[in-house]
Chains A and B, each alone.
Chain A
Amino acid sequence: MGWALMALVTLGLLATIVLQILYKTEVDTIGFETWRPVVYAYVLWGVAIGIGQVLTRGEDGQRALFLLPALLFTIAMVIFPTLFGFYIALTDWNLSSFSGRRFNGLDNFWQMLADPYYRNALINMVLYVLAVLVEYVVAFGLALLLNAQIRARKFFRVVFLMPLMLSPVAVSWMIGKSLMEYRFGPAATLARHLGWEDPAFFSNPITARISIMLLDAWTFIPFMMIMLLAGLQAMSREVLEAARVDGATAWQTFWQVTFPLMLPVSVTAVILRIIFKLKLADIIITVTSGGPGGATDSVSSFIYREYRDRSNVGYGTMLAMAYLVIIVVFVTWLLKFASRFVRNVN
């Protein structure tokens, strides 16, 4: 009974999908105007599979019911779109095109390999990611300060966290486009007082890149800082006291005790921060649009222009998918490398 039900609905779902594909590819003339009925069929199939599980497997089936909705939802919302995205990446799909979407194999991929703008954005990403190390040093310093016995410690902890609570777009406008504005921005005025004749923060490739890095760092250093601070507070006092009893200087205590003990937390903080960094786009889009001459372009901001301004969906998706693969490979390597590093040091 249960098996028959599951087989029936599965056949029904497959038939609906095949019918709809044939209709949309104009092979036959029977089908639905939109894909919505396929979604209904999928939901129906999910329900029937659930019932089927209970009928065929009893208590085991009931247990499966707890998992099934989440699984089906993930398939519908994550796995299917990702696979479909890979398909889109293999098509020539310009929203203005008269002929609509066209399969074009690996053309987008070859185009991507020869695309100087994408390459430029990737190189920029390497620089942006390297900047995380500097951010880490600053964050560690701040965490140490806030962990020390200073006046108004709680107040400073909250204050230092504030930038993280701001939306990067708001930061772009308030700081990038107002404070750092060339003509009337207070930061520019201050720079003039300090002797910088033309305080244009976003005109020269190097200053522009540094300015963007600073803006982004200002927003996200608190994130690393708070993680490191939590790590410092979790550290056992006894080890530090032992070091002091042994006559270690503050410098020795830091390098020989605190830093190694903090490595696991540090690695987590740095990796999470790198993942955030790889998504960097909003500040760049708002402040520089990737300029001057692509100096501040990130992969995401480039894809954004390619996809959004030029409605080049197929190629834009290929860029995004390639970036996804690069990120997955890189982060996997990074995690492996990090765990080996931590093991070796300790």
Chain B
Amino acid sequence: MRVGLYDKLVRAGATRRDILKGAASMAAIAAASGAGLGALTRPAAAASELRSKILQIPGVGKGQPTDADFQKVGELCLEATKANVKEGEFAGVELTFMGLNNQNLHNVLFRGFLKPWETYTGAKISWIDLAQADYNARLQQSIATGTVDFDIIEMGAPFEGDVCGKGLTSEMPDWVKKQIDFDDLVNYLKPPVGTWDGKQYRVTIDGDAHNFNYRTDVFADADLAKQWKDGGATSEWGVPKTWQEVQAVTKFLKGKKFKGQDVYGYLDAPKPWGGFGFYFLGSRASAYAKHPDDKAWLFDADTMKPRVNNPAWVRAIQDVIDALPSEPADQINADPNTTAFQQFLAGTGSMIPWWGDVGSNVKTNDSSVIGDVTGFSILPGSDDVYNSKTGKWEKLASGPNYAPNCAYLGWGVYVMARVDSDEKKKKAAWSAAAHLGGKDLSIWTAMYPSGFQPYRNSHFDIPEWVAAGYDEAFITSYLKSEGDSYNHPNAAIEPRIPGIFQYYSAAEDILANTFAGKMKAQEGADAIAAAWEKLTDQIGRDKQVKLYKASLGM
């Protein structure tokens, strides 16, 4: 509903409750405002009117949104809050919110979204901003030293083991579930994700999977196609569908020029990134290592014995080693942030895996030069897949094996248990979380640079994106890559076990040495496996086995 319209109705003497109550009050309002009734009797239309209105702020292709835009969107999306909270209800409540400030997104947006919420409810929020690479450490320290100094946290599902598992979060009240329309979430983000021991904790604000981003112009170029054929290739020049093809194309493009510039193939991200860089090896490995008959792919589910040194992972590591000489000269010093935001968006490289941010940034980020020439698909597959149970490589009758890497499972907003003792504060914290996880607000974060991707079934309505200004072919390709990853029957799921980022971080250090040529792929993989075994023992093997199985739904 439009704010102006709402205000008009309220001024006419109707409370929000009255508005929703029924025919009697409807009639009263109708008398006061003929225009209002039309909107009220068509709630779906009103909702879509609101959505199309916020989606014009500032308008797709009209530059990057600013704080004023965030506030406008937050203001327009306050309806759901107003239904559950009276004006000024939280006066005097002070909340602390901890989250990220990557690429000036996340918390930077939350501030704007919550400004009108603060004005309306009377609560006040102070902010703790963290860089991605500092996030894990800050969180772990707070947990271990018992110094949780925040009431609301923006957190990824992988940390649920560390946080919810230790009883530090507040259980979601039913009214919040209703307010955020919980059933609208895509299936893979529904429980067990967001829950621990059967209790619901998380307001999902993001969906995460690595998709495959490529340059449509490079793979449609006649000149490159000719050179490809002349080089003796038997297949047609086009977007690689398997990792084997990715490797071939990357080696082929080395030294080639396109539009007068060096063109590169795949971009690896070998530099450690606080543990998050490991996902990028995972994306190369999932098609090799995730067998459709086996839910596990990182560890043996019964023993937590690492699989990272099995032939599938070693092949992925070897792929990186083989591809690096064909990538830009300083690639060894590139972390994932560099590959996406400094290289790919700026026109270097023609293929990268990333979270959906690349898709939501190519058209709206000011530094992007590839808005019209980017295509998307699920991660490449592999001609053969390793079966950990038989110890053999298999070719599937159905063709190449695909296994999208559902890395990180998206960000969520969690309320800490320390607010539970104060009912008013608790309601305020949950109301703020629910505002950020609201259905209408979410379509805006999915369409504009926010750090968040589509995560609701309602986000996959292509006409809505087209109406907002997206190119139909582009957005269809993007949403299909996201949706197909989320819903893939052989998706590789992130294990939500305590200390998961320690595993990743230990691996990153060893991988950095392996990629720099200090170790062979197998040696590096064995070293990672040894480090992981040690970690599992240190953290507690029996519990880890139990939690790993639970996280895979076994």
Residues of A within 8 A of B (CB): 92, 94-99, 117, 181-183, 198, 200-203, 205, 208, 288-295, 305, 308-313
Q: Which of A198, A290, A294 contacts B518 (CB 8 A)?
A: A294
- Contact digits for B258-289, partner A, Cβ 8 Å, 1 yes 0 no: 00000000000011111100000000000000
List residues of chain B with CB within 8 A of the CB of A291: 270-272, 332-333, 512, 516
- The reply to whether A203 and B330 form a contact with Cβ atoms under 8 Å apart is yes
Question: Once the chains bind, are B509 and A117 in contact (CB under 8 Å)?
Answer: yes
Q: What distance in Å separates the Cβ of A7 from its nearest Cβ neighbour in chain B?
A: 35
Cβ-closest chain B residue relative to A101: B144
Q: In the bound complex, how far is the Cα of B501 from the Cα of A291, in angstroms?
A: 19
From A197, which residue of chain B is reached at the shortest CB distance? B329
What are some 29 contacts across the A-B interface (CB < 8 A)?
Answer: A94-B499, A96-B162, A96-B498, A96-B502, A97-B538, A181-B342, A183-B328, A183-B342, A202-B333, A203-B331, A203-B333, A289-B272, A290-B509, A291-B270, A291-B271, A291-B272, A291-B516, A292-B516, A293-B332, A293-B513, A293-B517, A293-B518, A294-B516, A295-B516, A305-B505, A305-B509, A309-B137, A310-B502, A311-B499
Q: Specify which chain B residues have a CB less than 8 angstroms from the CB of A292 in the assembled complex.
A: 332-333, 512, 515-516
- Which residues of B sit under 8 angstroms from A201, Cβ to Cβ? 330
Least CB separation from B277: chain A residue: A289
Report B's interface with A, CB cutoff 8 A.
Answer: 136-137, 140-141, 143-144, 162, 270-275, 328-333, 335, 342-343, 346, 348, 498-499, 501-502, 505-506, 508-509, 512-518, 535, 538-540, 543
CA distance A92 to B537 in the complex (A): 11
Shortest Cβ distance from A31 into chain B, in angstroms?
15
Find out whether the CB atom of A95 lies under 8 angstroms from the CB atom of B329.
Answer: no
Question: A289 with B512: in contact, given A97-B540, A311-B144 (CB under 8 Å)?
Answer: yes
Q: Report how far A99 CA is from B542 CA in the complex, Å.
A: 12
Residues from chain A with Cβ under 8 Å of B343 in the complex: 183
User: When the two chains form their complex, are residues B509 and A96 in contact, meaning their CB atoms are under 8 A apart?
Assistant: no
- Chain B residue with the shortest CB-CB distance to A183: B348
Rounded to whole Å, the gap between the CB of B271 and the closest CB of chain A is 6
B328 cross-chain contacts in A, Cβ below 8 A: 182-183
Asked whether A202 lies within 8 Å of B502 as measured between CB atoms, the reply is no
Roughly how many angstroms separate A205 CA and B144 CA in the complex, as a whole number? 37
What separation, in Å, do the CA atoms of A201 and B333 have in the docked complex? 9
Among A200, A208, A291, find the residue whose CB has the most chain B CB atoms closer than 10 A: A291
Chain A residue contacts of B502, Cβ below 8 A:
94, 96, 309-312
Measured between beta carbons, the chain A residues less than 8 angstroms from B144 are 95, 311, 313
- Beta-carbon nearest neighbor of B333 in chain A: A202
How far apart are the CA atoms of A305 and B330 in the complex, in Å? 22
- CB pair B538 A92 closer than 8 Å: yes
Contact check, A94 vs B538: say whether CB atoms are below 8 A apart: yes
Q: How far is the CB of A23 from chain B (nearest CB, A)?
A: 15
Quick one: given A203-B331, A310-B506, are A289 and B271 in contact (CB under 8 Å)? Answer: yes
B499–A96 contact, CB under 8 A?
yes
Check if A309 sits within 8 Å of B538, measured CB to CB: no
* In the bound complex, CA of A305 to CA of B508 (Å): 11
Report how far A14 CA is from B273 CA in the complex, Å.
46
In contact, A288 and B275 (Cβ under 8 angstroms): no
Distance of A5 Cα from B272 Cα, bound (Å): 58
Distance from A269 Cβ to chain B, minimum over Cβ atoms (Å): 33
Of A96, A198, A200, A313, which is within 8 A of B539 by CB?
A: A96
A332 to B348, CA, bound (A): 52
Question: Which residues of B are found within 8 Å of A208, using beta-carbon distances?
Answer: 333
Which residues of the other chain, B, contact A311 by a CB distance below 8 angstroms?
136-137, 140-141, 144, 499, 502
Bound CA span A312–B136, Å: 13
- A202 to B275, alpha carbons, bound, how many Å? 21
- Given the complex of chains A and B, what is the CA–CA distance between A183 and B512 in angstroms? 22
The closest CB in chain A to the CB of B543 belongs to A98
CA–CA, A214 and B273, complex, Å: 24
Picked from B333, B346, B506, B540, the residue with its CB within 8 Å of the CB of A200 is B333
Q: Residue among B499, B506, B538, B543 with the most chain A CB within 10 A?
A: B538
Q: B516 — which chain A residues lie within 8 A by C-beta?
A: 205, 291-295
Bound complex: CA of A293 vs CA of B343, how far in Å? 22
Quote the shortest CB–CB distance from A308 to chain B (angstroms). 4
Q: B271 — which chain A residues lie within 8 A by C-beta?
A: 288-289, 291
Residue pair B501, A309 in contact (C-beta under 8 Å) = yes
Query: How far apart are the CA atoms of A305 and B143 in the complex, in Å?
Result: 18
CB distance A203 to B506 under 8 Å? Answer: no
A99 touches B540 (CB 8 A): yes
Contact A309 B333 (CB under 8 A): no
Chain A hits for B501, CB < 8 A = 309
Q: A289-B273, A293-B516, A309-B274 are in contact. List 5 more A-B contacts (CB 8 A).
A: A202-B330, A288-B333, A293-B518, A294-B512, A309-B505
Q: Within the assembled complex, what's the spacing in Å between the Cα atoms of A280 and B468? A: 51
Partner of B329, one of A200, A293, A305: A200
Alpha-carbon distance A198/B330, docked complex (angstroms): 8
Contacts of A288 in B (CB 8 A): 271, 333
B503 nearest CB neighbor, chain A only = A310
Alpha-carbon distance A310/B278, docked complex (angstroms): 13
> Whole-angstrom distance from the CB of A299 to the nearest CB of chain B?
14
Q: With A198-B329, A310-B502, A311-B499 as known contacts, state yes or no: A290 contacts B136, CB within 8 Å.
A: no
Knowing A95-B140, A96-B539, say if A310 contacts B505 (CB, 8 Å). Answer: yes
Most chain A CB inside 10 Å of its own CB: which residue of B275, B330, B539: B330
Cβ of A94 and Cβ of B535 under 8 Å apart?
A: yes
Residue from B137, B331, B506 having most chain A Cβ neighbours under 10 A: B137
Instruction: Tell me the nearest residue of chain B to A111, going by C-beta.
Output: B534
Q: Which residues of A contact B514 (CB under 8 A)?
A: 293
CB distance from B165 to the nearest CB of A (A): 9
Q: Which residues of A contact B331 (CB under 8 A)?
A: 203
Q: Which A residues touch B535, using CB under 8 A?
A: 94
Task: Using CB atoms, name the residue of chain B closest to A208.
Answer: B333
Known: A94-B538, A203-B333, A305-B505. A294 touches B513 (CB 8 A): yes
Q: Which residues of B have CB within 8 Å of A290?
A: 272, 509, 512
B136 nearest in chain A by CB position: A309
Chain B residues closer than 8 Å to A309, beta-carbon distance: 136-137, 272, 274-275, 501-502, 505, 508
CA distance A292 to B328 in the complex (A): 15
CB distance from B14 to the nearest CB of A (A): 51
Of A117, A181, A203, A305, the contact of B332 (CB 8 Å cutoff): A203
Q: Which residue of chain A lies nearest to B512 when distances are taken between CB atoms in the complex?
A: A291
Closest-CB distance, A255 to chain B (whole angstroms): 43
Complex A-B, nearest 8 residue pairs according to Cβ-Cβ distance, in ascending order: A293-B516, A96-B499, A200-B330, A198-B329, A95-B144, A309-B505, A182-B330, A308-B137
For B508, list chain A residues within 8 Å (CB).
Answer: 309
**Closest CB-CB distance, B102 to chain A, in whole Å?**
16
Residue with the highest number of chain B CB atoms closer than 10 Å, among A94, A95, A308: A95
Q: Report Cα–Cα, A200/B338, bound state, in Å.
A: 14
Nearest CB on B from A47, distance (A) = 28
| Contact of A94 with B539 at beta-carbon distance under 8 Å, contacts A289-B271, A289-B512, A305-B272 already known | yes
Q: Which residues of A sit under 8 angstroms from B143, Cβ to Cβ?
A: 95
For the complex, what is the distance from the CA of A208 to the CA of B333, rounded to whole Å? 10
CA distance A290 to B509 in the complex (A): 9
Q: How far is the CB of A194 from chain B (nearest CB, A)?
A: 16
Give Cα distance in the complex from A311 to B342, angstroms: 30
Contacts of A181 in B (CB 8 A): 342
Kindly list chain B residues whose C-beta atoms are within 8 Å of the C-beta of A94.
Answer: 499, 502, 535, 538-539
Complex Cα–Cα for A166 and B144 (A): 34
**Bound Cα distance A295, B517 (Å):** 11
Write the nearest CB–CB distance from A202 to chain B, whole angstroms. Answer: 4
Q: Which residue of A lies closest to B329 (CB)?
A: A198
- Within the assembled complex, what's the spacing in Å between the Cα atoms of A202 and B334? 10
B285 to chain A, nearest CB (A): 21
Closest residue of chain B to A307 (Cβ to Cβ) is B137
How far in angstroms is the closest Cβ of chain A from B148?
13
A196 to chain B, nearest CB (A): 10
Tell me the bound Cα distance from A140 to B256 in angstroms: 49
Q: Which of B136, B274, B329, B512 contacts A182 (CB 8 A)?
A: B329
Chain B residues whose C-beta falls within 8 Å of the C-beta of A310 in the assembled complex: 502, 505-506
